[in-house]
């Protein structure tokens, strides 16, 4: 079965790359930037290039859907680069094309806070997409970089869907009607996203789950089934947000970057700002088969399971990663 997940922000190692292969992961969308500048993001790419050399039997860079198919045929996992914040383009719209040329295929317009482009989900007010944001959306559409609104506020996300001439994604979130986390999305927003051909990736990050780390596989898969009843199955996939083996100190960089002298942990408090335990049914990349079994158990057909596990993402890659015709 084709298996595509993303994003993930693991503490990458040979162990994790081998677990990807054990779990049959065909492609993983990996986060290479939260608050990094352009040059810092390029440094992360340099690190990945060394991993591609050292572990060439396990992982390979991917810029197209064809690269993913080739990796699967060769028994390797394709790695697709994504940015969880527009910090890497700084205030220079021309860096969108440069980063796309270097392999970036996803960029969030904001990570929790107000950015130069849009409003994050932790802000009290949401004035929507900014003037620069409108220009960047058009440029991302032109070159073939996917607009991701996973950490964005609701008005900004609705506006991004309407402004973009190509389908966008909410790559890692769940319905707020199932669990009302700040980062989860309303049923109305999910319907608007998928009606325009956009992709929703269901998260396994405990703060996004009903009952958090104690969420059951049945509850998670039933949530996916209820979403499919509302919007259909063709624009649903996995977006686990797996942060395996990361030290708790990394949460400070993810949440605070350089913008705050105070500790701001969003959905976690200062006392519980570390990474919560993963649910028992998805500990790491070896457990994709468990999710597939859970989807089948709640009534999805074999064809539908295959779409959610990776087929829908591959079709989205095919339509999204090239320049606009």
User: Measured between alpha carbons, how far is 5 from 318 in angstroms, rounded to an integer?
Assistant: 15
> Domain 4-320 is in which class?
alpha beta
Which of 321, 294, 7 lies closest to 141, judged by CA? 321
Give the burial string for 30-51 (b: 16+ CB within 10 Å, else e): bbbbbbbebeebbebbeebeeb
Query: What would the pLDDT profile of 208-221 be if each residue is shown by its tens digit?
Result: 999 999 999 999 99
Which residues of the chain fall below pLDDT 50? 268-271
Helix locations, the chain, DSSP H: 14-22, 38-54, 65-74, 95-101, 131-143, 154-163, 187-195, 217-231, 250-256, 288-297, 302-306, 312-320
The number of C-alpha atoms within 13 Å of 93 and in the hemisphere containing its C-beta is 15
pLDDT the model gives residue 289: 98
Within 10 Å of residue 186's Cβ, how many Cβ atoms?
15
Within 10 Å of residue 2's Cβ, how many Cβ atoms?
18
Which of 78, 77, 99 lies closest to 32, judged by CA? 99
pLDDT the model gives residue 269: 43
User: Measured between alpha carbons, how far is 201 from 242 in angstroms, rounded to an integer?
Assistant: 12
pLDDT the model gives residue 253: 85
Q: Does the pTM exceed 0.75?
A: yes
Which of 215, 153, 164 lies closest to 186, judged by CA? 153
Which of 13, 224, 122 lies closest to 216, judged by CA? 224
Query: What would the pLDDT profile of 228-255 be if each residue is shown by its tens digit?
Result: 999 999 999 999 999 999 998 898 888 8
pLDDT the model gives residue 264: 67
pLDDT the model gives residue 260: 84
pLDDT the model gives residue 266: 60
DSSP 8-state secondary structure symbol assigned to residue 309: I
pLDDT the model gives residue 249: 86
Within 10 Å of residue 22's Cβ, how many Cβ atoms?
13
């Amino acid at each position: 079965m084709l298996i595509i997940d993303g994003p993930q922000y693991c503490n990458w190692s040979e162990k994790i790359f081998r677990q990807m292969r054990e779990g049959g992961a065909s492609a993983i969308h990996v986060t290479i930037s939260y608050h990094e500048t352009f040059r810092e993001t390029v440094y992360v790419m340099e690190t990945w290039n060394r991993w591609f050399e050292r572990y060439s039997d396990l992982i390979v860079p991917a810029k197209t859907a064809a690269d993913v198919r080739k990796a699967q045929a060769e028994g390797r996992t394709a790695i697709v680069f994504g940015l969880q914040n527009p910090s890497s383009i700084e205030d220079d719209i021309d860096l969108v094309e440069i980063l796309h040329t270097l392999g970036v295929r996803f960029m969030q317009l904001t990570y929790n806070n107000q950015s130069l482009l849009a409003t994050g989900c932790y802000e009290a007010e949401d004035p929507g997409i900014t003037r620069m944001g409108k220009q960047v959306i058009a440029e991302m559409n032109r070159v073939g970089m996917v607009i991701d609104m996973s950490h964005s506020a609701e008005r900004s996300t609705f506006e991004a869907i309407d402004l973009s001439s190509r389908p966008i994604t909410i790559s890692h979130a769940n319905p707020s009607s199932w669990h009302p986390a700040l980062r989860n999305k309303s049923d109305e927003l999910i319907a608007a996203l998928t009606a325009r051909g956009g992709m929703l990736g269901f998260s396994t990050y405990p703060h996004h789950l009903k009952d958090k780390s104690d969420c059951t596989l049945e509850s998670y898969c039933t949530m996916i089934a209820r979403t499919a009843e509302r919007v259909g199955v063709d624009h649903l996939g996995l977006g686990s947000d797996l942060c395996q083996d990361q030290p708790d100190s990394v949460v400070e960089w993810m949440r605070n970057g350089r913008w705050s002298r105070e500790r701001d942990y969003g959905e976690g408090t200062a006392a519980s700002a570390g990474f919560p335990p993963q649910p028992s049914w998805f500990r790491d990349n070896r457990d994709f088969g468990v999710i597939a079994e859970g989807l089948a158990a709640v009534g999805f057909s074999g064809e539908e399971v295959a779409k959610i596990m990776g087929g829908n993402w591959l079709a989205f890659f095919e339509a999204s990663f090239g320049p606009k015709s």
